[in-house]
Amino acid sequence: MQMEIINTGSELMLGFVLNTHQQWLCRQLTDIGYVVNRQTAINDSGAAIDEAVREALARADVVITTGGLGPTSDDITRDRIAKMLGCKLREDAEALRNLEDFFQRRHRRAPESTRVQALVPEGAIVLQNAHGTAPGLVMEIASGRFRQAGGGSLLVMLPGPPRELRPMFTEQVVPLLKEKCPLPSEFVCRVLKTTGLGESLIEERIAGPLRELTDAGMDLGYCARVGEVDVRCAGFGQQGREQTEAAESKIRELLGEYIYGTGDDGLEEVVVKLLTEQGKTLAIAESCTGGFIGNRITNVPGASAVLLAGWVTYSNAAKQKCLRVNEATLKDHGAVSEAAAREMAQGALKVSGADFALSVTGIAGPAGETEEKPVGTVFIALATKRSTTVQRQINRYDRETFKWVTSQQALEMIRRAAMAR
Amino acid sequence: MQMEIINTGSELMLGFVLNTHQQWLCRQLTDIGYVVNRQTAINDSGAAIDEAVREALARADVVITTGGLGPTSDDITRDRIAKMLGCKLREDAEALRNLEDFFQRRHRRAPESTRVQALVPEGAIVLQNAHGTAPGLVMEIASGRFRQAGGGSLLVMLPGPPRELRPMFTEQVVPLLKEKCPLPSEFVCRVLKTTGLGESLIEERIAGPLRELTDAGMDLGYCARVGEVDVRCAGFGQQGREQTEAAESKIRELLGEYIYGTGDDGLEEVVVKLLTEQGKTLAIAESCTGGFIGNRITNVPGASAVLLAGWVTYSNAAKQKCLRVNEATLKDHGAVSEAAAREMAQGALKVSGADFALSVTGIAGPAGETEEKPVGTVFIALATKRSTTVQRQINRYDRETFKWVTSQQALEMIRRAAMAR
């Protein structure tokens, strides 16, 4: 099965916005067993759209376009494709009603110019848009029309805004794909998320023991990002299910506590869920990460049940005043030290009354390093009523990556401590 | 001038990583007057690479590939392209020395398998890699070889890791492009960054008054993202310079204080720079934004000169204990209220001793709304020794976008207050 994605939008080609559709759509399709072979981005120009869609339809079973369905003058995808396919446009009553409802809910009348979005090519399947005004469109292209060999194609046109595209894809396109372009057998995929071990160390531990399964056809892949590695097992049908289940228990045995979650779990979600289940609370004292760990935790809905308080104690005065760090500690050991991290965590614990208090102090760079403490040096402490532990790490990256990696280590420290209780 | 980008990498097509190269390269090229016509992403498969490169060379004056130059088995771009072009590979002495130095600086011997990266196609211009081991490559493709009409093409191959690709592009590819594919005349571009007005309101204010310039050929564009709009004026040569200068003063006159910066300025950078220049300090008390504003401020190198302290006072107890908010205020008005925001800011000012103290309290959602205070309601207060002002906003978005939009409004509040002093 050949699949292609075409992203239209001059703002993409000018580099003004990041193309998040590509990753999102590819990931959704990967997770249900489809593979995208090619993605193309082009300007909102009629000739470019014609050319790219024509070429893709000559190669692929499924072609998905994004963007160009709205009401403005540069939204030309629907019209160009209808013209290319020789389809007339008709006004879709339900799409029009949806559009009028959309404006009514906002206490406005639908501007005349927006009605163009209710025009759909004859013969198209209309995907109503629950979060916007432009419906999605699906057209079945007859065999032999664009492809010299092979069957027909499915052409799926989706609106550009992510909050419209994503639910439309999940709720309407995925069932349609499964119906119109079924996979030979059920696809089974299991992703285990790890942190704390590099890709090569993970491969070293598991590739050998899993050889029997991979030799028998199970797909085993690694996806390494800074601060985490996903291990992915996949296969088809009953055999695939048995293989991925066997692989998962083997990997869990071999990687143990390095695995923090599955699927799309983020480490912050795992930590919030774990503490919520345990009825435990958290306080966070950040220096060099500047609020990034608090931000990650509070990105999780329901974080308020867990996070009592956070501090960004960038200055020494704030460390003393808010967290009761001793002046002598800062003077003797410096603000970036095991002793300072320890006192910050203990201070946060006492002031907040939380069950766990985390602290981070380090040198994000680019300036501030000393002979003894190079850029990237960071101390991470975790205090509970019973004890305080401190880690020293050297995370030598640019400023934002430094914060990310440090936050992974810090969240993992909380997760492990909570698991151990 | 036709330009295309080809991104290779199975991890892109599986949706495991976001393709940041596209936006970055497109933006760099846009800023110096080149326009990318098409971008394609494909798997690390020999056939896919051959096909995509061949097609692009048949269309474009410049083709830039990313990825596939490293030492592992899926790094096949260099080999496939050399074969396609009928070029032998030779070992480049400087690339080999660079590779050996790279490992030596890390106190390791270069593994034998990595030496393959010093192999370059005969006739290629070698771009040494200051931040990694795989050099970039540039090949001049003769006229008539792939393109039926028009001249030859420049084929630029860049390594995949951003920290290697970016400096190589800026320092080596840009000068080469300017030399080999010069623009007809100098490109002039000016981007003004605004926040606080929507795209249509900005257009309403400036499009008419700038009509004379746009009619005379100046390019005027808008790039709207949530919470900010860029206005971009561009042209060529002496006329373009005069037009964009005239446009800039007209736009500054019409948009005034809605303009917070130029070019690539971020609002957080503008705020840190402004406060640093004024020798002023800042404290931040966050509830619903959970550390996101502190995180943005501390992403700016040198933020430590400005930011004295931050709090993430998620719980009522923390608001009382850390920021001295009155129990009665929380009881009578609620934690999400003008009164609570005011006391949080004033408390942060007193405790930290800063010149400006910002506070944010609101309902990020999805839960927590009341009849009177819907999801998205947020109070932002700014306290100085002289006065405290509070804004009420309704930012009805998903949780992360809510934080972003709120942080824009909050940073803008600081910027305007600092400008007014």
**A224 phi and psi, to 5 degrees?**
-100, 125
Q: Do the beta carbons of residue B307 and residue A312 sit within 8 Å?
A: yes
Domain CATH code at residue B240: 3.30.70.2860
Where does a domain end: B221, B244, B262?
A: B262
**Alpha-carbon gap: A123 to the closest alpha carbon of chain B (Å):** 30
Task: Give the best residue of B1, B5, B11, B16 to mutate against chain A (max A CB count within 10 A).
Answer: B16
- Cβ–Cβ contacts within 10 Å for residue A15, how many? 19
| Residues B27 and B167 placed together within one structural domain of the fold | yes
- Dmax (CA) for chain A in angstroms is 81
Which distant-in-sequence residues (6+ apart) come within 8 Å of A103 by Cβ? A109, A110, A114, A133
Are A234 and A318 found together in one domain? no
Each residue's pLDDT tens digit, A378-411: 999 999 999 999 999 999 888 999 999 999 999 9
Does position B106 have pLDDT exceeding 80, yes or no? no
Q: Are residues B280 and B386 in the same domain?
A: yes
pLDDT in tens, B255-287: 999 999 999 899 999 999 999 999 999 999 999
CB contact under 8 A, A403 and B297: no
Give which of A224, A297, A299, A267 is closest to B160, Cα–Cα. A224
Single-letter amino acid, residue A261: G
Full residue range of the structural domain in which residue A216 is found: 187-262
Question: Model ipTM?
Answer: 0.86
Q: What phi and psi, each to the nearest 5 degrees, are found at residue B386?
A: -90, -40
DSSP class of residue B45 equals -
Domain stop point among B262, B286, B306: B262
B68 and B108 both lie in a single domain: yes
Q: Looking at the structure, do residues B143 and B233 belong to the same domain, yes or no?
A: no
Decide: helix, strand or coil at residue B377: strand
The pTM for the full model equals: 0.87
Q: Residue B341's domain is classified under what CATH number?
A: 3.90.950.20
Which of A392, A324, A405, A401 lies closest to A362, judged by CA? A392
pLDDT value at residue B114: 86
Rounded-to-integer distance, Cα B351 and Cα A321, Å: 8
pLDDT at B72 over 90: no
Q: Which residues contact B166 (CB under 8 A, 6 or more apart)?
A: B24
Give B296's pLDDT tier (boundaries 50, 70, 90). Answer: very high
Q: Which residue is listed with tokens 């690390």?
A: B44
Cβ–Cβ under 8 Å, residues A173 and A158: yes
Query: Poorest-confidence range of B6-10, B109-113, B159-163, B297-301?
Result: B109-113
Same domain, B369 and B413: yes
Q: What percent of chain B has pLDDT over 70?
A: 100
**Is A130 in the same domain as A240?**
no
A360-385: average pLDDT: 92
**Same-domain status, B99 and B150:** yes
Interface-testing mutation among B6, B22, B219, with chain A (most A C-beta atoms within 10 A): B22
Q: What is the DSSP track for A118-160?
A: GEEETTPEEE--TTSSSPEEEEEEPTTSS-SSS--EEEEEE-S
Pick the closest to residue A127 from A117, A140, A136 (CA basis): A136
**CA–CA distance, A384 with A369 (Å, rounded to integer):** 30
Number of domains in chain A: 3
In contact, B330 and B317? CB cutoff 8 Å: no
Residues forming a β-bridge with A4: A38, A63
Contact call for B23 and A29, based on CB within 8 A: no
Q: How confident is the model at residue B309 (pLDDT cuts 50, 70, 90)?
A: very high
CATH code, B90: 3.40.980.10
- Looking at the fold, whether A205 and A347 belong to one and the same domain comes out as no
Above 80 in pLDDT, residue A333? yes
Select from B219, B236, B262 the last residue of a domain: B262
Query: Cβ–Cβ of A298/B314 closer than 8 Å?
Result: yes
Q: Which of B340, B330, B289 is nearest to B310 (CA)?
A: B289
Residues B53 and B199 in one domain: no
Chain B residues with CB under 8 Å of A407 CB are none
The widest CA-to-CA distance across chain B, in whole angstroms, is: 81
CB-CB under 8 Å, A24 with B19: no
A14/A138 same-domain check:
yes
Write out the E strands in B13-151: 38-42, 62-66, 89-91, 119-121, 125-127, 136-141
Query: Given an 8 Å threshold on Cβ–Cβ distance, is B297 in contact with A317?
Result: no
Same domain, A122 and A206: no
The neighbouring-strand residues paired with A229 are: A194, A224
Angle, alpha carbons A31-A34-A39 (nearest 5°): 105
Interface contact A37-B42, CB threshold 8 A: yes
Q: Quote the DSSP letter at residue B170.
A: I
Asked whether the beta carbons of A403 and A292 are under 8 A apart, the reply is yes
| Residue owning tokens 């759209």 | A49
Distance from CA of A136 to the nearest CA of B (A): 22
